[in-house]
Structure 1
Amino acid sequence: MEAENENKVHIRSEALQLFMQYGTRSVSMDDIAAAVGSSKKTIYQYYTDKDHLVAEAIEVALIENCTQCKKFHRLSENAIQEGFLAIDQTSELFRNMNPVLMNDLKKYHPKAYKRFVEYKSEFIYDIIVNNIKRGIEEGLYREDLNIDIIAQFRVGSIDILFMPEFYGRVKEGLFRVQLEIFYFFLYGMATPKGQKLIEKYKKHKPKNSSDAKD
């Protein structure tokens, strides 16, 4: 398979960083061209318009997240460690993420937003279900959990982060909010054995396996 054009990748990467920081509505093609160090004409050689660029940037971000989630599952020693590895990556993502991004996608880029919703309700849901089943088998999560309800609720909690009526009233940024939600769910599912592991990983976070070799 032929490698993707480096200029196209660079444009998409710089654009994604701007979208994450400011949302999509506030970022113009001129802004992207300035960040890339090229002309708008060059950008239009690879992307027909901003909507096209947004859609591809979001798609690639989701693909990368999918790859990391599968890697965390494969390399983690247990379900709780898998969760900590995943939340560590998500925390880094959220450190510089403007919550208006999701609302901009919903209003101005329906294709990209639909893709995110599908990814969240299908892949992320499955990841959570498998993690819960794994944790139960390992004796780290309670056996009486209704897996579907918990997984659906956990997926739904992602939407709360991007509700203006929520993030507008919370002083902490997305980074801290999603971490507290993660702990809330984890402690709610954990057995005494699992709670000990949670405390262990909170004090000594496991190394992010995204830097580890396959």
Structure 2
Amino acid sequence: MKETILNKANEMFLTLGFKSVTMDDIAAELGISKKTIYQHYANKTDLVEACTMHLFGTISAGIDNIREQGKDSIEEIFIVRNFMMQHLHNESASPFYQLQKFFPKIFSCLREKQFAKMNGCMVDNLKRGVDSDIFRKDINIDFVSRIYFTGLTGIKDSDIFPHNMFDVHSTTKQFLEYHLRAIVTQKGLQILERFNEKY
């Protein structure tokens, strides 16, 4: 039952937002009493934390599986992006804005974990790209990796990228192209243009 509650709560939080969904809503969706939820999770904050850490673990494992496929650096970035869009319900910014505003400690912990994971993966991706002559040899790998993380998280800021002006899906794609065009070699540009059409 604990896992069932976790999965349903995760789905509802990502669709409707961490603040918007109540314990009553989750209980009603599952056809159980709120008391049953409290047997497994002390309060809503406990459930939100469990959901975000579970989601982070699922996405981390998925990214590790993608990295093991041995794709070139550019294709790997596109595959990871598609995987994350599927697992984050197209990365709607609203749930994570609510998480940041109403559960700041959980958000801060999640962001630290996200940065550590993404930075480690991106540094490896960039090194492989440089070695295979897809990325320029003169790039500062640590700088580019951090700019990548900053950009991906920054485009979800609804104050700067209002939802009525910027669709998260297309904005993410535009950011990836913007980012990659700055670091690719001529060989890498041909690969980028091929995958831009494919994805």
Residue in structure 1 matched with residue 10 of structure 2 by the alignment: 16
Partner of 1:58: 52
> How many pairs align?
199
- Are positions 1:34 and 2:28 aligned together? yes
The sequence identity of aligned pairs, in percent, is: 25
1:72/1:31 CA distance change after superposition, 3 Å:
same
- Give me the whole-angstrom Cα distance separating, in 1, the residues matched to 2:198 and 2:100: 38
Unaligned runs of at least 5 residues, structure 2: none
Cα-to-partner distance string for 1:55-105 (whole Å, 9 max, x where unaligned): 010001111111111111110321112111101112324544432222222
Note if 1:88 corresponds to 2:63.
no
Moved over 3 A (4+): 93-98
Q: Distance in 2 between matches of 1:79 and 1:31?
A: 42
Tell me if 1:149 matches 2:135: no
TM-score (norm 2): 0.92
* Structure-2 residue corresponding to 1:192: 186
CA distance in 1, matches of 2:47, 2:89: 23
Matched AA of 2:32: S
Q: 1:106 Cα deviation (Å)?
A: 2.0
Match of 1:111 in 2: 105
In the alignment, what sits opposite 2:172? 178
Change (3 A) 1:141 1:113: same
Provide the C-alpha distance between the structure 2 equivalents of 1:32 and 1:76, rounded to a whole number of angstroms.
40
In structure 1, distance between residues paired with 2:150 and 2:198: 29
Residue matched to 1:77: 71
Q: CA RMSD in A?
A: 1.7
Amino acid at match of 1:109: F
The residue aligned with 1:3 is none
Of stretches 120-129 and 168-177 in structure 1, the one that deviates more from structure 2 is 168-177
Q: Which has the higher contact order (CA 8 A, sep 6+)?
A: 1
**Cα distance per residue 1:102-138 (max 9 Å; x no partner):** 2222232233212211112211111111110110001
**Structure 1 unaligned spans of 5+:** 1-6, 206-214
Is the partner of 1:75 in helix, strand or coil? Answer: coil
CA contact (8 A) 1:15 1:32 kept: yes
Query: Would the aligned equivalents of 1:92 and 1:175 in 2 still touch at CA under 8 Å?
Result: no
Q: CA deviation at 1:167?
A: 3.1
